[in-house]
Structure 1
Amino acid sequence: MHTHHSAAQPLTEYGLSALALLAGALLALMIHCNSRLAAYGNPLTASWLAHAIGLLTALLLWKALRQTRPHAGRPPRWAYLGGVPGALTVALAAIAVNSPLALSGTLALGMVGQVLFGLLSDRFGLFGMPRRPLRLNDALALPLVLSGCAIVIFGA
């Protein structure tokens, strides 16, 4: 039996990859903007301002893009705590960027933290993620990410 492959499938995968790249670029921009704010005040003030403006932006996007979804039940209680690591990320990154690490070193170490947490989340199914055993490519990718981070921070 012939299986029909949709042309939209690769576009969906490429589109999701493009969104992830855009999110990374926006994260770098956010960290830079917040570090500039922190330089004129302090990291906590920068975090408060960033989150207040982010709240307004999120409310405007929510209002503009609101759609009805079938009621799928309630999220787990811990899901409401997503703002806590977000606020800590903003404050800690603002401190780190205004150090010899600069923006590139802060982002490199942040990426290492994301990869490590992602691998642990996948392996142990943390926070409701599906469990996925670590594979050989995970073991090979981690030293490459760490090496790249070291090159960014310490030079070649």
Structure 2
Amino acid sequence: MKNINRYSILAIIGGGLLALMININSQLSLETSAINASWIAHGLGSLVALGLFHMTKKRANPSSQIPGPVPRLYYLGGLPGAFTVILASITVNSAIGLSGTLALGLIGQLVCSILCETLGLFGLEKKQFNVIDLLPISFVVFGSILIISQRY
């Protein structure tokens, strides 16, 4: 339970950082373009990641590494990230705003994660999808509708 709490806090912080990133990138895209904002965000992110990599590579746990060669598919994680930045930069500056973008983005994340877990994609453990799983999803969809409908 202690690890779940710690990871839950980290996930909440990550969500807050995602909202901050999307907001800052959308402002940058207004001044330049959505594609330029994506280039700058990923370029700066790459530099930070490279710095963190060099700071922590001596402390890496060898037992946590994937044995054998890394599947090529795993190197493509930046592609959805680039499109996320571009699409979010466009939609935040639309009528749905930051809250609507994040709410609808959360629906997309839920649907994609359920598909990935149900089908066991990308090395995830297969999980059975139950009708009870529709309850929290329906709350998120309903909440998203409320958020977006209040913007007008």
Report the equivalent of 2:96.
101
Report the equivalent of 2:11.
20
Residue 129 of structure 1 and its aligned partner are, at CA, apart by 1.0
- Structure 1 unaligned spans of 5+: 1-9
- Indicate yes or no: 2:145 matched with 1:154: no
Residue 137 of structure 1 and its aligned partner are, at CA, apart by 2.9
Deviations 1:19-67 (A, max 9, x none): 1111100100000010010010100000000000000010111111223
Aligned mate of 1:119, from 97, 100, 114: 114
Q: How does 1:13-92 map to 2 (within 5 A)?
A: 13-66=4-57, 67-68=59-60, 69-70=62-63, 72-92=67-87
Give, in whole Å, the separation in 2 of the partners of 1:47 and 1:118. 24
- Deviating beyond 2 angstroms after TM superposition, the runs of 4 or more aligned structure 1 residues are none
Give, in whole Å, the separation in 1 of the partners of 2:148 and 2:131. 27
Give, in whole Å, the separation in 2 of the partners of 1:111 and 1:99. 17
Residue 127 of structure 1 and its aligned partner are, at CA, apart by 1.5
Give, in whole Å, the separation in 2 of the partners of 1:139 and 1:106. 21
Give, in whole Å, the separation in 2 of the partners of 1:86 and 1:49. 13
Q: Which has the bigger relative contact order, CA under 8 A and spacing at least 6?
A: 2
**Aligned-pair Cα RMSD in Å:** 1.4
Report the equivalent of 1:145.
140
Using the aligned pairs only, state the percent identity.
Answer: 41
- Matched letter for residue 47 of structure 2: L
Give, in whole Å, the separation in 2 of the partners of 1:134 and 1:147. 20
| Number of matched pairs | 147
Residue 138 of structure 1 and its aligned partner are, at CA, apart by 0.9
- Matched letter for residue 36 of structure 2: T
- Structure 2 unaligned spans of 5+: none
Residue 128 of structure 1 and its aligned partner are, at CA, apart by 1.5
